């Protein structure tokens, strides 16, 4: 939630803790990639993006379009979609994830 509210430093703290507890969870790595990129830490963002792609289910992180196509995505409601576009997806773009 910190990430969507643009509390990037707080998001990084909590996401790093989560990654340390569940390093095999690709969703944590991908959110951390977005947060690092939004914080200007592009090398760390690229590392997390690469890690997310290597984990089970990581093939869905090949592009923004694939991420958006995940069934049950939380970004469906207009208000939520705006939050995701301004933070999560913007961060993924900055981390190097292509649109298609």
Q: Answer whether residue 2 is part of any domain.
A: no
Q: What domain range is 78 assigned to?
A: 8-95
Average pLDDT of span 6-16? 95
Q: Answer whether residue 70 is part of any domain.
A: yes
* Number of domains forming the structure of the chain: 1
- The Cα-based distances of 31 to 24, 84, 94 in angstroms read 13, 11, 12
Chain-centroid distance of CA 56 in Å reads 16
Q: What is the pLDDT of residues 50-83, one digit of tens each?
A: 999 999 988 889 999 998 887 766 666 788 888 8
Q: Answer whether residue 100 is part of any domain.
A: no
Round the average pLDDT of the chain to a whole number and report it.
91
Q: Answer whether residue 3 is part of any domain.
A: no
pLDDT of residue 49: 97
Q: What is the band of 96 on the pLDDT scale with cuts at 50, 70, 90?
A: very high
pLDDT of residue 41: 98
């Amino acid at each position: 939630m910190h990430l969507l509210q643009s509390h990037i430093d707080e998001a990084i703290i909590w996401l790093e803790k989560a990654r340390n507890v569940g390093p095999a969870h690709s969703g944590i790595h991908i959110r951390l990639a977005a947060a690092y990129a939004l914080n200007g830490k592009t090398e760390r963002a690229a590392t997390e993006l690469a890690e997310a792609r290597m984990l089970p289910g990581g093939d869905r992180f090949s592009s923004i379009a694939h991420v958006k196509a995940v069934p049950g995505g939380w970004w469906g409601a207009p208000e939520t979609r705006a939050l995701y576009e301004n933070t999560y997806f913007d961060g993924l773009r900055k981390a190097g994830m292509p649109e298609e």
